[in-house]
Chains A and B, each alone.
Chain A
């Protein structure tokens, strides 16, 4: 009868929108599940970049970025930051010497009440071109088929460059010696309303010293966290923030393709880290470094990754906060 049909149609439309009839849809749940190894998820921890250590400090803006974005974060001044050094692994107990990708999450707050959050990594480009390819990489990595990775690499030729980087880029002995890159392109809008496609990096003030991985392996599974906690005792750690501006016509959709080296670079200020704190009781633990949290004057581009990352980070956040009892704080009442 008509009433039943109308109600059933509405319910079906709802289920369709929720993806119930679209098992092939790439969901954030699939991306997050894709990080889970055979031993199950790391309860209470981030589902990827699970091992990390908190820091606090300031972003000291020199004012040069105002030319590219009207966001207050680029006006000359000092703005507080909360951040997190981390390893690109779903294992919170990973061996520091074995994880190729190192990362940095950052949240800068400005007096106007806005925030700029980002999560950067040390490779100069992303392994794959699209979120779908990233999920295919997850499936291939987890696959028991001996030729799964070979097939994946064949279907995703952009992956070869990442493999080459992973095999040849020097390792360092410190989070402080890494250069961290946004990889994704964002659109910066200046005071006149003009748009600029921008990627950015944090370039370390510390001189990188190459250390062979087998040498790092002798330093213990947590040497990066111990080293950074030790290093901060002799003074703040610094990185220069460099905005790289696309030329007209440069693609912005594919983070696996770096822009040519000659693109304009503007040094807009420094990240200055003053304090290191263990994650468990630290201020970064319950922060989602969602790269789509941007101040007015920055917005996402046609790069599909920030949306996918935002969606997946949120699922990871929802799950780990629901598992707080598995990763409780030790200090009573310490929440920030």
Chain B
């Protein structure tokens, strides 16, 4: 892993592990978010109590992932991929990385601006990163709300594009991040 060249075909095992781990975390996070926002059942508290530590876990994983990405890079896209698709791939990845890092920070700041304690688990909490401020709370609330839907929409696009690469173009882009550990061309059971 120390001597990676630009002609690599796949992401490193560490990158693949981070990707799939975070995929599960982020999808869970988004579903928990919309679920808790529409519930008054006792599960509401359970969901809130997962949402906060999971968000912080995603923030930490995203920062690690960004560092790993900067260190190891990514396999080049296929040369025959049309330019607009390449552009979409680059842009959507910038936005995905940004959201992975910014969403937890907005949530943390939003709670701080409302003076809610940011409790990760009983007896463990984070410091307030903003003073009590209703208009700031509202701005952050709106950002958290609308960016969550943007995030989910981007993930759906990302999923569609991944399947497009895997099933239609069969160009190795999916396999570069695919869970299969060997390099054979077995399509993953999706």
Chain A residues engaging chain B, CB cutoff 8 angstroms = 2-4, 6-7, 10-11, 13-14, 17-19, 25-29, 31, 113-115, 131, 286-288, 290, 292-293, 295-296, 299-300, 302, 304, 306-308, 310-312, 317-318, 320-322, 324, 335-336
Whether B135 pairs with A14 at a CB distance below 8 angstroms is: no
> Is residue B164 contacting chain A, with contact meaning CB distance below 8 A?
yes
- What are 27 sample pairs from A and B whose C-beta atoms fall under 8 A apart? A3-B160, A3-B164, A6-B163, A7-B159, A14-B30, A14-B31, A14-B34, A14-B152, A17-B38, A18-B37, A26-B41, A27-B39, A115-B117, A288-B116, A307-B40, A307-B45, A308-B41, A308-B44, A311-B36, A317-B114, A321-B135, A321-B137, A321-B141, A322-B141, A324-B135, A335-B132, A335-B133
Indicate with 1 or 0, residue by residue over B170-190, a CB within 8 angstroms of chain A CB atoms.
Answer: 000000000000000000001
Whether A296 contacts B40 by the Cβ 8 Å rule is no
Closest residue on chain B to residue A312 by CB atoms: B40
Say which size band chain B's interface belongs to. Answer: 35 or more
Interface residues of B (CB under 8 A from A): 30-31, 34-45, 48, 114-117, 122-123, 125, 131-135, 137-138, 141, 152, 156, 159-160, 163-164, 167-168, 190
Query: In the docked arrangement, what's the CA distance between A304 and B44, Å?
Result: 10
Inter-chain CA distance A3–B190, complex, in Å, is 10
Contact indicator A27/B40 (Cβ below 8 Å) = yes
Are the C-beta atoms of A293 and B117 separated by less than 8 Å? yes
Shortest distance from the beta carbon of A2 to any chain B beta carbon, whole Å:
7
Q: Which residues of A contact B123 (CB under 8 A)?
A: 114, 295-296
**A286, B131: Cβ atoms closer than 8 Å:** no
Q: Which residues of A contact B156 (CB under 8 A)?
A: 7, 10-11
